[in-house]
Amino acid sequence: MAAEITLHRTAHGTLAGHVFGANHKWATTALELAGFSPADDGIHQLSMDDFDQTRQALHQLRQSARDLDVTVTLSPQPYLGDVAVDLAQRLPGQWEVDLAPLPEADRHEDLLAWVWSPGRLPAALEQHRIPCAARLTGDGTELLLVQPDDDNECVIGAMLPSLDLDFMDVVVDGPQSVSAASTHIAAAVIQNRLLPQYEEALFSSRLIESEDDLRWAQETYEPGEVVKPYPGELVSALNRFLHHASELIAHVRRPKAGLTAHEDAFVKKFEAHLRRAQKDGGDAMSLWLAEGERLLELASAGSTREPTAIQPPARFAAPVPPRPAAVTSTARSR
């Protein structure tokens, strides 16, 4: 279809209109001629408080759509905004919901570049007509929610960690996508499987980046060659380590990591020296080059001690697709 409008009844007593297609601007025109108003999220809404006005608006929409060659469909699916809000309220912590209209298929490709979860989420964006997606953001974690047009299930997956992409290459698979027929089930699987897998994948990326940077620095520079002013690429590598250091230390110091007394003493000393160097302008470079390898060894060993994440019911299992291409930040030097 060149231009389509999909209407959804919302939990707030309105009709929400999504537009889609190569000529989606004509669909938008038809909605506005009928009295639909664009909300802050870009979705057009029509209040249904007054029955006569609603009937008149829908009559006008039908006429305008016919004149402009626009197809109008009333969807039996729940409104995506309501689904996203309900899901966010069931997840641990505080989550913000942001709707992302996708009126053109090209927008799907733009969004796909930021999808980290393999499985049903990228497949849905590639194969289905999806006029709108919802982003859920909580404590640095970004999730994407879509409703394929011919499916009664919602599909949720992780987005790439945008706050960290300037400091690392994401070279590991993200958590598997989740699909469920209700937000209650989806929230349980997200909490028990997707979020633990997300944290594990993010930590693995931090660790791999830190190990690669330190190995490169040790292979490129002899100890006596590292003098101020430090080379720019070496400073960039140190800054990436400093960005990850607090998360690496927190990972090492968790109770389940099982540190020995000697290891615990080393981590406390490293953390104190790092804090002093960052606060008082001390030499974080020397600390990183001399002691960073030991910290990374403990972080790597701690990750192998981690218990396996809770597995979802078999009905949510999905085959693992081929490894996605690495995503490289543009703000890097090494």
Residue 118: which residues within 8 A CB-CB, separation 6 or more? 173, 174, 176, 177, 320, 321, 324
Rounded to whole angstroms, the Cα distance separating 104 from 82 reads 22
Q: Provide mean pLDDT across the span 304-309.
A: 38
Rounded to whole angstroms, the Cα distance separating 83 from 40 reads 18
* Per-residue pLDDT, 333: 53
Q: Provide mean pLDDT across the span 131-145.
A: 94
pLDDT digits (tens, 9 = 90+) for 52-88: 999 999 999 999 999 999 999 999 999 999 999 999 9
The confidence band for 334, taking pLDDT boundaries of 50, 70 and 90, is low
Cβ 237 vs Cβ 216: under 8 Å: yes
Per-domain residue ranges for the chain? 4-74, 80-197, 200-304
Could you tell me the two tokens for 66?
Answer: 């016919």
pLDDT digits (tens, 9 = 90+) for 161-208: 887 777 888 889 999 999 999 999 999 999 999 999 999 999 999 999
pLDDT digits (tens, 9 = 90+) for 87-126: 999 999 999 999 999 998 888 888 999 999 999 999 999 9
Per DSSP, what are the bridge partners of residue 154?
A: 180
Q: Provide mean pLDDT across the span 289-312.
A: 70
Q: Is the pLDDT of residue 330 over 50?
A: no
* Per-residue pLDDT, 139: 87
The confidence band for 237, taking pLDDT boundaries of 50, 70 and 90, is very high
The confidence band for 225, taking pLDDT boundaries of 50, 70 and 90, is confident
Q: Is the pLDDT of residue 321 over 60?
A: no
Confidence (pTM): 0.83
Residue 2: which residues within 8 A CB-CB, separation 6 or more? 21, 22, 23, 26, 69
The confidence band for 143, taking pLDDT boundaries of 50, 70 and 90, is very high
Rounded to whole angstroms, the Cα distance separating 92 from 137 reads 12
Q: Provide mean pLDDT across the span 125-147.
A: 93
The confidence band for 224, taking pLDDT boundaries of 50, 70 and 90, is confident
Alpha helices (runs of H) in the chain, residue ranges in sequence order = 24-33, 51-67, 80-90, 105-112, 120-127, 183-189, 195-220, 232-252, 261-280, 284-304
